[in-house]
Amino acid sequence: MRILLIEDDKRASQFLARGLSESGLIVDSVADGATGLAYAREGIYDVIVTDRRLPALAGMVLVQQLRAGGDTTPVLMLSAVGGLNERVEAIRAGCDDYLVKPYAFVEALARIEALARRADRSRMSERLECADLVLDTRARTASRGGRDLRLQHREFLLLECLLRREGQVVTRSMLLEAAWNYDFEPRGNIIDMHMHRLRAKVDRDFPRALIHTVVGAGYVLNPAP
């Protein structure tokens, strides 16, 4: 699960981002509303967590602009203001949930997970298939030919990225974006190392390979022999 955290309080941002990362989530953190809106519009996040008061662009305006553009990504708003009027205003602006500061991390995590589950139920495709390869994005399971594939977290994200772009060349930059934070600095051939392990699990012991290298470009998932 990938989270966009928009919070200008450095200490609060680091606290929440660290906790979410340690819980197995991928977190991109930004410190102002204008940058947050630009990130959000990329459409790659499962949940957006934003502070109400932000420099450059207020959290309320950010959400209103997202909704006006047709973006339905779940939004959890954080605020030190917890009055009824403020909560109602946020919900009417397009927020899906509202959490008052100070908050316990476990509650923030539970609310984020709940929003992600609701979004999962509304997604058009929770089951991705290519030939005899099946990926269930809700159950977080993968199988090929009826055989379970025990994928690590990043392997699952990489395979999901390939399946959603079946037949298209997926660059290493696209794979990096799908499975790591924006501020992650790749070392050596880390993408190729993870892809090597993924291909071993997906294609080993099967008569035809599904994942192919495109020299100088990246990878492609293609059922053709």
Task: Compute how many other C-beta atoms are within 10 angstroms of the C-beta atom of residue 106.
Answer: 10
pLDDT reported for residue 117: 79
Rg (CA), the chain: 19
pLDDT band of 201, cuts 50, 70, 90: very high
Domains, the chain, in order of start with CATH, read 2-122 (3.40.50.2300), 127-221 (1.10.10.10)
Give the model confidence (pLDDT) of 152-191 as tens digits: 888 998 999 899 889 999 998 888 877 876 555 666 688 8
pLDDT reported for residue 225: 56
Give the model confidence (pLDDT) of 93-132 as tens digits: 999 999 999 999 999 999 999 888 777 655 545 788 999 9
pLDDT reported for residue 184: 57
Q: Per the structure block, which two tokens stand in for 158?
A: 């990489």
Q: What is the 3-state secondary structure (H, E, C) of the chain?
A: CEEEEECCCHHHHHHHHHHHHHCCCEEEEECCHHHHHHHHCCCCCCEEEEECCCCCCCHHHHHHHHHHCCCCCCEEEEECCCCHHHHHHHHHHCCCEEEECCCCHHHHHHHHHHHHHHHHHHCCCCEEEECCEEEECCCCEEEECCEECCCCHHHHHHHHHHHHCCCCCEEHHHHHHHHCCCCCCCCCCHHHHHHHHHHHHHHCCCCCCCEEEECCCEEEECCCC
Phi, psi for residue 52 in degrees, rounded to 5: -75, -45
Tell me the whole-structure pTM to 2 decimals.
0.60
pLDDT reported for residue 174: 84
Give the model confidence (pLDDT) of 123-161 as tens digits: 545 788 999 999 988 778 999 999 999 998 889 989 998
pLDDT higher than threshold 80 for residue 5: yes
Phi, psi for residue 73 in degrees, rounded to 5: -55, 130
pLDDT reported for residue 124: 45
Rounded CA gap, 179 and 157, in Å? 6
Give the model confidence (pLDDT) of 23-67 as tens digits: 888 899 999 999 999 999 888 888 999 999 999 999 999 999 999
